[in-house]
Structure 1
């Protein structure tokens, strides 16, 4: 792979941010954004001899990200590969991305008995909003981590030294090193924020489980009446019930597990969050094996 610099690198980085998304992968597979796909590969100055199939093209794009552009997707994909798939299992654990909570968007949550938050701060990010973000996440979750690179490490060690928040370093070798383990912290847990995270069917499951019935009121008052019941449950219990419901959101099941297992590591996060059916897994594999 040739090294690229200046404006050419900026162009390549922007294109990579666009191509490694759930929607862009779907479009590429269905031949609906071929121009963007080819433009991204061309921008990286890859030797054409290295690319025989679409899988080769994707591996080369990802290799560039590993060396020169560790964007948010690279971080999330590393967390999925190293923690969800490496330390846990998709059969027993669930990952959720971009979860809205108190006017913030949580980067990644992995549930395996407990719920662990992973807030990503790449070398391209700043730390200005981190305190507010963590305060929000602790309203619903007891374990939070910041995942970062060497450029932020010293600042984070100082900023988080007397806090329960963990620090995980994404090393130059692409591994995850725990610089500081998270501690359980429940002081900010808030029933309303936990309730807001849940979908209608999810909070109904919790209310039925605890009270045996749902409020019999008009639609305009239904949400508020459900919350009145919900908030009477001890907040640590509501957190557990919430995690149980969120864990059910995983799209990987007994039927599609063997298909997901065969997805290349470069695309694990994109496919995990795509809710693919068997037919779509087959179409994706056909695309990957097709001559570029």
Structure 2
């Protein structure tokens, strides 16, 4: 924590430089971080809340890595980001992978990329929604995602979980855990998981994922400059660390 802010830290200078650099991203280099930070501020902190919602980056789903995943209560949404720096070569395959675990999938892109993305979605993934990050940094819903349960897959959902998480689900459903040799434990646990109705299984997985980001200091996070909220959120600081950041930035 001490490495983040030194004793000679000047909050005024820091905030000025922060806004200056963030404006550079806004006006000329809207990279993936800029998109993720905007999604976090507009959706998690704006539309929903930290109490009911958790967000994740780089979630591996089959052979793809989801840029931004949002779990609101027991509903999960994937936001695949396509900036002006990205190409769309793998988009159709990525969207197919995401739909095996999430029934609400969006592509978030720029105005420049809207029509190329729309063409892919309209022809090959009609249930996928499209959001455009506008020049004024608003999220413009151009095509609403349609809930699609047809591709949900038990094994893909199961592999989103850590061992303790899928064990907790099995205990909730069966009251016990597989009594097999270690080499058969994962396979047997998956077999048990597959016996759960797919929608209930998905809901249980989302519940477990949301518990990972049950962070302390939620109110402090929202009080931080909007430019660094996503960075701080994903850094998993302790409450005492958030207090230090808050104090160093002279926000009290």
With structure 2 as the length reference, what TM-score do the two structures score? 0.91
Whether the 8 Å CA contact 2:110–2:132 is kept in 1: the answer is yes
Pairing 1:174–2:137 present? yes
1:103 to partner: Cα distance: 1.9
Q: What SS is found at the alignment partner of 1:160?
A: helix
The partner residue of 1:117 within 74, 78, 103 is: 78
Distance 1:129 1:248 in 2: 31
> Which ranges of 4 or more aligned residues in structure 1 deviate by more than 3 Å?
285-289
The partner residue of 2:29 within 69, 74, 81 is: 69
Pairing 1:211–2:171 present? no
Whether the 8 Å CA contact 2:78–2:104 is kept in 1: the answer is yes
Q: Does 71-80 or 276-285 show the bigger shift? A: 276-285
Alpha carbons of structure 1 residues 210 and 176: separation in structure 2 relative to 1, 3 Å: same
Distance 1:235 1:187 in 2: 10
For each residue in 1:138-184, what CA deviation from the matched residue of structure 2 results, as whole angstroms up to 9, or x when unmatched?
Answer: 11010000000012111112211251000000000110000000001
1:252 to partner: Cα distance: 2.4
Whether the 8 Å CA contact 1:140–1:194 is kept in 2: the answer is yes
Alpha carbons of structure 1 residues 215 and 158: separation in structure 2 relative to 1, 3 Å: same
For each residue in 1:75-98, what CA deviation from the matched residue of structure 2 results, as whole angstroms up to 9, or x when unmatched?
Answer: 000000111111000011111111
Correspondence for 1:99 = 59
For each residue in 1:212-267, what CA deviation from the matched residue of structure 2 results, as whole angstroms up to 9, or x when unmatched?
Answer: 110112222211111110111121211111111111111424xx122212211001
The partner residue of 1:129 within 71, 86, 90 is: 90
Pairing 1:248–2:211 present? yes
Correspondence for 1:5 = none
User: Structure 1: any 5+ residue segments left out of the alignment?
Assistant: 1-25, 32-50
What is the RMSD computed on CA atoms of the aligned residues?
1.8
1:115-194 aligned within 5 A: 115-162=76-123, 163-194=126-157
With structure 1 as the length reference, what TM-score do the two structures score? 0.79
1:28 to partner: Cα distance: 5.9
Correspondence for 1:239 = 202
Correspondence for 1:197 = 160
1:279 to partner: Cα distance: 2.3
Distance 2:201 2:90 in 1: 27
The partner residue of 1:228 within 186, 191, 199 is: 191
Whether the 8 Å CA contact 1:91–1:252 is kept in 2: the answer is no
Pairing 1:87–2:47 present? yes
